[in-house]
Amino acid sequence: QIKNMVTQGAKVIIVVAEDGDSAATAVEDVAKKGVKVIAYDRLIKTPKIAAYVSFDNVDVGRNQAKGVLAVKNSGNFVLLGGSPTDNNAHLFRQGQMEVLNPLVKSGKIKVVADQWVENWDPANAKKLMENILTATGKKFDAVVASNDGTALGALEAMKTAGLAGKVPISGQDATEAGCNSIARGELTVTILKDTRKLTPLASELAVKLAKGEKNLGLSEFKLADLTGDNKKKGQVPCKFLKVFQVTKTNLKELVVDSGFQTYEGVYKDISNPPAK
């Protein structure tokens, strides 16, 4: 697809890469022709990209772990990572473990299951959680899941086992379904990444690159640090937007009042919702 766009005359391309490794080869090929590629939200693993715009994904992971620890800071923990081919999933895990590792080392926390969810598919997360429930005899105290979809899939299995609302679980993306689950008291925490700010940022950057402007307001990061792979060489110009931890306490203020989700969607079928 990238090569097709170049054939049609594109000089700057914004790409959301499903697989950051496989997209790298195509980007390196078109970069030789002077075409600029912006990696949007998901990193393309080559220093030949012109820019990488996303959110602070390591901080997403930190906030997920902190949100769960605020409710349960000891015991048996389950980790549900995202799709193993998505670099963001590894950055979330990096942030999660920054927070959890000291507690694991001290013996306060024991990781009793650690799984990655292929394609971020909620159905896969549900199956994994069913297996974890069987393997652990339902004996775990918290779940650090990496987005709302996988958390809600896991929660389906946890509901059947009578654990929904009793065992804290994290999500991400502040989806309508995820926020509704927080309002119901099942999902504990989600992470708001205000995507309304990312699209204009990428568009403005594309225009500047097309004009050949040099002052882009980007910061250089080592590719090795962005990927957690020391074999990766070179640097990438980046811009990361801030993320916000959302719980039942600040749900309306951060998600509804900001217009990110609707009041009707977030509080659907909730008895005694907060006033509009």
Task: Supply angle C-alpha 193, 197, 202, rounded to 5.
Answer: 115
Distance between CA atoms of residues 217 and 16, nearest Å: 21
- 2-49+195-241 under CATH 3.40.50.720, yes or no: no
The amino acid present at 30, given as its one-letter code, is V
- Strand spans (E) along the chain: 12-15, 36-40, 51-55, 75-81, 109-116, 142-145, 190-192, 219-222, 235-241, 244-246
At which residue do the structure tokens 């719980």 appear?
247
Q: What is the pLDDT of residues 96-150, one digit of tens each?
A: 999 999 999 999 999 999 999 999 999 999 999 999 999 999 999 999 999 999 9
Helices (H), 70-120: 87-105
Q: At what angle do helices 148-160 and 122-136 cross, to 10 degrees?
A: 40
pLDDT (0 to 100) of residue 264: 98
For residue 196, count other CB atoms closer than 10 A to its CB: 10
191 and 169 in contact (C-beta within 8 Å)? no
Indicate the CATH number for domain 57-193+245-266.
3.40.50.2300
Distance between CA atoms of residues 173 and 175, nearest Å: 5
Q: Count of H helices and E strands in the chain? A: 11, 10
256-to-83, 179, 193, 261, 274 alpha-carbon distances in Å: 29, 10, 14, 5, 11
Q: What is the pLDDT of residues 207-242, one digit of tens each?
A: 999 999 988 999 999 999 999 889 999 999 999 999
Q: What is the pLDDT of residues 26-52, one digit of tens each?
A: 999 999 999 999 999 999 999 999 999
pLDDT at 253 over 90: yes
Which DSSP state fits 100?
A: H
Burial classification of residue 27, based on how many CB atoms lie within 10 Å of its CB (0-12 exposed, 13-18 middle, 19 or more buried): buried
Domain boundaries, the chain: 2-49+195-241, 57-193+245-266
Share above pLDDT 70 across residues of the chain, in percent, rounded to a whole number: 100
Report the DSSP pairing between strands 36-40 and 12-15.
parallel
Share above pLDDT 90 across residues of the chain, in percent, rounded to a whole number: 89
57-193+245-266 and 2-49+195-241 share a CATH fold = yes
pLDDT (0 to 100) of residue 177: 99
Mean pLDDT, range 60-77, rounded to an integer: 99
The amino acid present at 272, given as its one-letter code, is N
